[in-house]
């Protein structure tokens, strides 16, 4: 078991994920060093299956806390509410249609044992609907605020971060790319703290064609809002960083196809 100051609040936003949320939760419960809580925020799911599965999971696992929204407000609001409810020194995001690989917690807890590390992230497996890996997305060994202005290299479901610094400012409530804005604000507000990337893939990301992140044009719009609304950059500066983001995405791919 990890030390008390390494216990983790696992934060899972959920919307109509009745077909995948049980797999996501199981991947956390099966970690060899899990100690803490799982908080699931249901963003006003419209299907009965999701509600049924969530209640079954909560009955089976006392570590689970369920929060049911009374209206749909998007992933940004869900993550803001989840962070505010976290009770443990460390937090980890997990999307309801992704899963953690075996050994994720132990690998990241070893890194987070260094008090100068603010957050830890990792490479991940890009999978099909059945969670069959088709590619690996690599990450750099570390990143900084300035580097993150050029491109978001922190995959959300891979990230572990310290709770108190995250609760010290308002989480951006953009419907998309709010995670990018969050990492930028975390790094900006905590200069000198490290953001470490691990080369081994520690998450299975389910690549769904209808996912919110699948539209490049929509991502461009919300990337602009990251700079303009969340970081309060000027219009010219926001446009400049958006252009840099586009070129980084086109010409600096870190995706390796699996054979």
- The predicted-structure confidence for 38-83, as pLDDT tens digits, reads as follows 999 999 999 999 999 999 999 999 999 999 999 999 999 999 999 9
- Span 170-193, average pLDDT: 94
Quote the DSSP letter at residue 172.
Answer: P
pLDDT at 216: 65
pLDDT at 33: 85
Residue 106 sits in a domain whose CATH number is 3.90.550.10
- Number of independent structural domains in the chain: 1
User: Measured between alpha carbons, how far is 208 from 155 in angstroms, rounded to an integer?
Assistant: 16
Extended beta strands in 25-63, E state: 36-42
Q: How big is the CA angle at 138 (ends 258 and 14), to the nearest 5 degrees?
A: 90
User: Measured between alpha carbons, how far is 210 from 33 in angstroms, rounded to an integer?
Assistant: 34
Could you list the residue range(s) of the whole structural domain that residue 189 is in?
A: 4-257
pLDDT at 211: 53
- Span 245-256, average pLDDT: 79
User: Measured between alpha carbons, how far is 160 from 110 in angstroms, rounded to an integer?
Assistant: 11
pLDDT at 69: 97
């Amino acid at each position: 078991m990890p030390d008390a100051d390494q216990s983790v609040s696992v934060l899972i936003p959920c919307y109509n994920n009745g077909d995948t949320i049980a797999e996501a939760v199981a991947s956390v419960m099966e970690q060899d060093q899990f100690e803490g809580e799982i908080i699931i925020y249901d963003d006003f799911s419209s299907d009965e299956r999701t509600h049924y599965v969530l209640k079954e999971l909560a009955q089976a696992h006392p570590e689970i806390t369920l929060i049911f929204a009374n209206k749909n407000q998007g992933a940004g609001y869900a993550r803001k509410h989840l962070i505010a409810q976290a009770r443990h020194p460390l937090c980890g995001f997990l999307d309801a249609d992704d899963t953690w690989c075996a050994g994720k917690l132990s690998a990241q807890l070893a890194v987070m044992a260094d008090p100068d590390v603010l957050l830890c992230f990792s490479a991940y497996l890009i999978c099909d609907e059945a969670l069959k890996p088709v590619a690996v997305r690599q990450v750099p060994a570390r990143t900084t605020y300035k580097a993150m202005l050029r491109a978001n290299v922190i995959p959300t479901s891979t990230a572990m971060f310290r709770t108190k610094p995250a609760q010290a400012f308002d989480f951006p409530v953009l419907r998309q790319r709010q995670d990018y804005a969050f990492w930028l604000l975390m790094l900006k507000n905590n200069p000198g703290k490290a953001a470490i990337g691990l080369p081994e893939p520690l998450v299975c990301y389910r690549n769904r064609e209808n996912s919110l992140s699948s539209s490049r044009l929509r991502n461009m719009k919300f990337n602009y809002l990251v700079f303009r609304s969340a970081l309060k950059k000027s219009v010219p500066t926001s446009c400049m960083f958006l252009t840099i983001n586009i070129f980084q995405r086109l010409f600096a791919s870190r995706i390796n196809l699996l054979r």
